[in-house]
Amino acid sequence: MNLELFVLGTGGMMPLPHRFLTSALLRREGDLFLFDCGEGTQVSLKKLNLRWKKINAICISHTHADHVTGLPGMLMLSSQVDRTEPLYLIGPPRLKEYYEVNRRALEMFINYEIIVQEISNPQEPQVVYQGEGFKIRSFPLNHSRVCVGYTMEEDPRPGVFHPEKAKELGVPVGKMFSQLQSGQNVTLADGRIITPGEVLGATRPGRKFSYVTDTAPLDSIAKEVAGSDFLLCEGMFTKDLVESAAEKKHLTSTQAAMIAKAAGVKSMGLFHYSPRNNEKDLKKLLAEAREVFPETFLARDGQTVELPNQE
Catalytic hit among 66, 214, 229, 301: 66
Query: Radius of gyration (Cα) for the chain, nearest Å?
Result: 22
Q: Is 66 in the active site?
A: yes
Helix (H, G, I), strand (E, B) or coil at 204: strand
Distance separating alpha carbons of residues 279 and 288, to the nearest angstrom: 14
**Please, is 285 exposed, middle or buried when counting C-beta atoms within 10 Å of its C-beta (0-12, 13-18, 19+)?**
buried
The count of C-alpha atoms lying within 13 angstroms of the C-alpha of 199, restricted to the half-sphere facing its C-beta, is 26
The count of C-alpha atoms lying within 13 angstroms of the C-alpha of 7, restricted to the half-sphere facing its C-beta, is 27
Residue 282 CB contacts under 8 Å (≥ 6 apart), including other chains: 273, 298
Is 166:194 a contact under the CB 8 Å cutoff?
A: yes
In the chain, the largest separation of any two C-alpha atoms, in whole Å, equals: 74
Residues identified as active-site = 66
